[in-house]
């Protein structure tokens, strides 16, 4: 069983964003599998880097939509993105310095953040963009 699985309840009916959310889950599963299998530190670091890079790209996709279609809650949503980005970049730096590990606690934090954000803030913008003809 996967660490996190796509479910219909995560669907925003915006193909590009839904596809990206699914890919984020795939990357998180890859990181989890690497931890469980005892992968070498370099593999864990590369997997974490991939997850962070894709997360930043995904956030940019959402924020571009916010700007293009004048989403009224863009600022608070962007703040959530910025807060997570700062936290994971700090983790990434600590991991590279050797002062942090990718623990199950970290994995749970990332999974819970993704689920809560997708079911919370993201679900709020789905209908807004659908009304603008974005699917």
Whole-model pTM: value is 0.95
**What would the pLDDT profile of 64-96 be if each residue is shown by its tens digit?**
999 999 999 999 999 999 999 999 999 999 999
> Could you give all domains of the chain from N- to C-terminal order, each with its CATH number?
11-131 (1.20.120.50)
31, 102 in Cβ contact below 8 A?
yes
Q: Is the dihedral of CA 65, 66, 67, 71 positive or negative?
A: positive
Distances (CA, A) of 107 to 76, 79, 125: 25, 22, 26
130, 13 in Cβ contact below 8 A?
yes
Strand runs (DSSP E) across 1-135, as ranges? none
> Does position 1 have pLDDT exceeding 90, yes or no?
no
Mean pLDDT for the stretch of residues 99-104: 96
**What would the pLDDT profile of 30-53 be if each residue is shown by its tens digit?**
999 999 999 999 999 999 999 999
Rg of the chain over all Cα atoms, to the nearest angstrom: 15
């Amino acid at each position: 069983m996967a660490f996190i699985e796509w479910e219909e309840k995560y669907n925003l009916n915006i193909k590009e964003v839904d596809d990206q959310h699914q890919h984020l889950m795939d990357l998180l599963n890859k990181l989890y599998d690497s931890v469980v299998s005892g992968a070498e530190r370099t593999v864990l670091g590369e997997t974490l880097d991939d997850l962070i890079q894709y997360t930043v790209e995904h956030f940019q996709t959402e924020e571009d939509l916010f700007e293009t279609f004048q989403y009224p809650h863009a600022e608070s949503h962007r703040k959530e993105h910025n807060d997570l980005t700062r936290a994971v970049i700090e983790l990434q730096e600590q991991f590279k310095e050797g002062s942090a590990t990718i623990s199950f606690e970290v994995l749970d934090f990332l999974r819970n953040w993704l689920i809560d954000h997708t079911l919370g803030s993201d679900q709020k913008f789905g209908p807004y963009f659908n009304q603008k003809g974005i699917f």
